Amino acid sequence: MNSELILKELNFKAIRSSGAGGQHVNKTSSKIELTFDLENSSAITDEEKVLLQKNLSTKLTKEDVLIIFCEETRSQHKNKELAIKRFLELIKNNLIVPKKRKKSKPSKSAIRKRLDSKQKNSVKKALRKRPKLD
C-alpha cells in the first residue's frame, strides 16, 4: 500500500457542522467529508481491493465509495488531518490477512490424565451407592 498515491486520490468537502454552537458554527464550514473511490483507485492492487470490499462492506456505498466524516474540532485543518489519519488506519487495519488456524490435538499425556481422572471420578461415585446384598 502506497500512502502518498492513495492520499492524492482522496476528495475533501467542507460542510457546516451540525448541532448547537452559536455564531461560529453558523458561519464556518469546519466539518470535513472525506471520500475515496475504491473501485477506480489506481493506488491499490486488485487483490487489496477485493480484501477491502469484503472487510469494509458495511462502510462502503453501492458505488464502492468510502465516506468518512470528521467534526471533532472547530478547525477545518485539524478535522482534515484527523479524517486522513482515521482513513489510513482503517485501510491499514483492513488489509491485514489473518493467519490460518492450524488444527491442534491434545497430547497423549493430557488424554491419559483426562481418562484417569474420569476413571477415579467414576470409582468415587460408585462407592457412594448402597452395597448389593446377595
Q: 13 by DSSP, 3-state: which? A: strand
Cβ partners under 8 Å of residue 91, min gap 6: 1, 6, 52
| Residues 52-102 pLDDT 10s | 888 888 888 898 899 999 988 888 899 999 999 999 999 999 888 888 999
Could you give all domains of the chain from N- to C-terminal order, each with its CATH number?
Answer: 3-94 (3.30.160.20)
| Residues 1-38 pLDDT 10s | 678 888 888 888 888 877 666 666 667 788 899 999 98
State the amino acid at position 15 in one-letter form. I
Vertex 11 angle, CA 55 and 38, to 5°: 30
